Amino acid sequence: MEKVLCIKRKNIPPEWLKEQSAIKMEEKTFFSLIGVTEFNAVDFNISEFNAVGFNITDSKTTGCNYNWVERPIAEKDSSFKQIIPYIIIQADNGKLTAIYRRKGSESRLHGLWSIGIGGHINPLDSQTCEHKTDFKKILYSGMTREFNEEIIVSPKRPFIKEFIFTPHFLGIINEDLTDVGKVHFGVVFKIDVDFKDDLIAREELVDFQWVKTEELLINNFNDGKLSTNSLTDFNLELWSQLAVQIF
């Protein structure tokens, strides 16, 4: 069964966990405030949870900031936050931002538009790291895998076998208004590309295209909803509405 990287809600600074949070910060600030960089890789499975609410006994979680949790559990127990790298792609010196319509494995987001590429971090991502318990390295390993699973380089550039990129850490996003948001926590990165026309999105990124970044930035947030004349045709998911605020 799939396991995903989680952190207990109680180990995340409370100001990051408001109903809607979008906080720009430096990478070193994030890793210093989120807790220790090393974690005890404790696995949680269904047999270790009771039938009501999937509660964990305190003795199993003491001292463990990060855990591999079976995904069905993590999707139901909001005392966990699944850590999701959320990658924004920009081109033309930041003037253009990639956008696409959701498909993928998360049916609750289907049909919504997004500016973020990313997904769950799995134990496989730790196996590709030299230090298999280093949270930062696991996070970056998962981000790299997710990006290369969703974006490929056009055959016009056969000399590029895999897209090499430099991610820029932007900050964090969180929302506790929806069922999806209550069990996920976004770590936002930006990637700048020089050859946008040679990037090909795989089938999960439906209607992949580029929009002017200024059209995303010139907006008003009323009750958490994006309002802009330029993007009236795009029903942006809430995480994307939040991520825009920390460009």
> How far is the C-alpha of 181 from the C-alpha of 58, rounded, in Å?
24
Q: What is the mean pLDDT of residues 72-96?
A: 95
Asked if residues 140 and 83 have their Cβ atoms less than 8 Å apart, the reply is no
As a whole number, mean pLDDT of residues 202-215 equals 90
Three-state secondary-structure class, residue 192: strand
b/e for 165-183, b at 16 or more Cβ within 10 A?
bebebbbbbbbbeeebbbb
Percent of residues, the chain, with pLDDT higher than 70:
72
Calculate what percentage of the chain has a pLDDT beyond 90. Answer: 48
The CATH number linked to 234 is: 3.90.79.10
Residue 64: which pLDDT band, with cuts at 50, 70 and 90? very low
Per-residue pLDDT, 80: 95
Do residues 73 and 8 touch, judged by C-beta distance below 8 A?
no
Structural domain harbouring 19: 3-246
**Number of folded domains that form the chain:** 1
For range 191-199, the mean pLDDT: 87
